[in-house]
Amino acid sequence: MPEKNTAPAAQPPVETAADTGKETLRTIIYALLIALVIRTFAYEPFNIPSGSMIPTLLIGDYLFVSKFSYGYGSVGTFYGMLPFSGRIGGGEPHRGDVVVFKLPRDPSVDYIKRLIGLPGDTVQMREGILYINGEPVERDRLAHVDPVGNPPSNAVDYLEHLPQGPTHIIRKLGDNNPLDNTAVFVVPPHDYFFMGDNRDNSLDSRTTNVGFVPESNLVGKAEFLFFSLKPGAPFWAFWEWPWTVRWSRLFTPIK
């Protein structure tokens, strides 16, 4: 009779606590790297801290910005650490786009405004009316003021029809405010001119605080809202969300 194999069966390797810890750490590192790549080159979340884009965007809105829409700027991408100058890849911005950009005088600060002037355009405000390339931009007064943003009693909302651009709502507080009459701005090559939809409460390209924005400072195009909280509601207080979330604004496109 053949001899029986009495050798003990091989035992699977025992996973130690150290092995489990290494695997967990590796998974976390991979996840962080993937998130970093997505945030740098695809989509980045932003929140709205001011009312300069009311009624389009409200304080407490959270939105996604597509980083690839306009390519990648040497200042506006990955904290300005990528080794190139200017902007590479992507398409050209269009008049009327809502854009996140780095403030030219302080690239650590993000601004979000509407693109009004393209390279070579002239832009001017005259008695509250926007002029582009010498032509007044048509606006239609709305019968009612959108209640969002707690508008003051003298607020008026208009539909503004940008040339070769979208129709969108702007808010005015009369037509004789400090930024309602300006010099003629001539947009230089490779620069852009931005304004807020809340026209009389916006630091934008009409002011020396912002001025013209180089293409290298563009971060991306604001695409859609993914979350929105009432002013003063902390994001981390999730148990209050049933009352503090503005549910009707979730997952709405930005126009």
Catalytic position from the list 102, 113, 172, 221:
113
Q: Which DSSP string do the residues of the chain spell out, in sequence order?
A: -PPP--SPPPPPPPPPHHHHHHHHHHHHHHHHHHHHHHHHHTEEEEE--SSTTTTTS-TTEEEEEESSTT-EETTTSGGGTSS--SEESS----TT-EEEEEETTEEEEEEEEEEEE-TT-EEEEETTEEEETTEEPEEEE-SS---TT---TT-EEEEEE-TTS-EEEEEES-S-STTSS-PPEEPPTTEEEEE-SBTTS--STTSTTT--EEGGGEEEEEEEEEEEB-TT--TT-GGGHHHHB-GGGTTPBP-
Active site residue 52: yes
Active site residue 216: no
Catalytic position from the list 52, 202, 205, 228:
52
Positions marked catalytic: 52, 113
